[in-house]
Structure 1
Amino acid sequence: MEFREDILGAPYEAAELPLAADEEGAVSATLVRRLVPGSQRAVLYLHGYTDYFFQTHLAEHFAALGFSFYALDLRKYGRSLRPHQSPNFIRDLAAYDEELDQAVRIIREQDGHSQLLVNGHSTGGLVAALWASRQAGRGVVDGLFLNSPFLSMPTSPAMRTLGAPAVGALGRLAATSKLPAPLNPHYVHSLHRDHKGSWDFDLTLKPAEGFPLYAGWLAAINRGHQEVRRGLQIDAPVLLMASTASTITNKWHPDLLRTDAVLRADDIAALAPRLGRRVTTVRIEGGMHDLVLSGEAARTEVFAELDRWIGAYLPALPA
């Protein structure tokens, strides 16, 4: 597997992972890495919806703890999106197993890491949790850190129950049909330094208005949520973090800078026990949807809680 300098610049490298073609043609994913020489510990990061990896401060925090850092831009996202593809589209979340399994082989077999922490944000948190559950008993995942995982739609229970059959039927019959549900641009505006935020990232890879929402993708997400509600079997220790509050609005409000503006944080926390037997839940005061992009005080708390959990559940390996 050939790694070249990534768009983020050194010491970040990236390699293309070829995948099985689908109905739209050639498919690939992108594995980014930031190696720590001599390390036996690694982190694999999965991004959210309409997203890609750019959070270098997260990678550097892990590197300071002695972890080599890897991030997947999943098929049809970010670095992996090609002109012939429907952005972010997937029919079944289990299809991501192909790039996840490839990434783990590189991390463990090619690069020689013997301890693996998987870190998933939002949709990446859902994908990571479902995959980790399927890996139970194989010793693949040593720990799971979920940052505001997308475990439930940000709607009422009644809406979720009543809407599920219609979403499933539409996903089967017209998977590539576009739904009239554009992303609320205020969340990205709350993050990007050209608007009201502090962070710099590529607005073509993470656009404020998002990409089209496809019926097949929504149906796949809904099936994933149903699996979570039935209960997963993750056998590795899990750290789940979510904000203490949410602000769901179509208008700009200052609370978007200190709450989850995408999902209902209370719903996320309530589903934590469905993931496995060893789940630690931490709520972050002032946390935004991507907790590591929150204001300084909340971000400091995120990293302190993460470090405490790692010390308890992922002890350093002997040199």
Structure 2
Amino acid sequence: MAEPPTYQQATNVPPQGYQPGYPSQQPPYPAQGYPSQGGYPAQPSPNTPLVIPGAAAYPSQPPQQPQQPYLDPQGNPTQNAAETGSAWQDDSGFTGNSFSDKAIRRAFIRKVYLILMTQLLVTCAFIAFFLFYHPANRWVKMNSWFYYLSYATFIVTYITLVCCPSVRRKSPGNYICLAVFTLAFSYMTATISSYYDSEIVLIAIGITAAVCLSITLFAIQTKVDFTLCSGLLFAGSMVLFFFGFACIIVYATIGPNYILRCVYGALAALLFSLFLAYDTQMLIGGRKHELSPEDYIFGALQLYLDIVYIFLIILSFFGGKD
């Protein structure tokens, strides 16, 4: 009688251990074992691109650096050049990389001419008051000390605004200083105008407006760069300065000389017309030198002085009534 099959034969389960005919149970590693270095493989760096089988690898993104504050040539932190439109500016008000944005330039020009028109309106109001209000006209002529006081105020405020960039760029101190300067110089101009007939003053104002408008339009559209003529303007200023001393000596020794006065007035008118063209191109930009958008007070100040000086020079050609 045959013996019944065992449990392993009935269930067709191979016995424990290695049996011939079955696949090898040896691990799929090389016979030599692990490499001699051992340990886990090196971890990839954070900048190593992630490679996915069957997909293109994404390019690695460089780590973003924190934005550093913009520094001027002296190492002082300042505003970003892309926001202000000016790479840097020195204490003299000149820069070689201003107005990179046209919108900044237009806003700067609009602000300067708005300030300039306000100054000219104040000056015209002073002149009209002293011309047509006779008690004020008599008071001005009898109290010359106030003219010299206003002249001293004009000198102090002008030097402060021109030589101190921290003053002319910081609001509201720059507006206050400019207002004091405008009032002092307007009083001086009105005092000088009070010695002339009202018709002559009105004619001089009209001629000044026409001359300044034509020079401004010429300076804007011409290809001639007047900002390169700073040396010529300095030489002309020195000639006019010493020629004025010569006129004073002639006046003290010989007396008034109409021809000498006309020559002096013509030279002064020509010089300040060149200054007006120079300052206009500095304001408009696109030249060798141009003003920073932060110097709107400086730009309005220079244009105002040029225009008023041209008016006084034209007025001197007519001769006073006193």
* TM-score tier after normalising by the smaller chain length: under 0.3
Q: Which has the higher helix share?
A: 2
Q: Which has the higher strand share?
A: 1
Is the radius of gyration larger for structure 1 or structure 2? 2
> What is the TM-score with the length of structure 2 in the denominator?
0.23
Structure number with the bigger relative contact order (C-alpha 8 A, sep ≥ 6) is 2
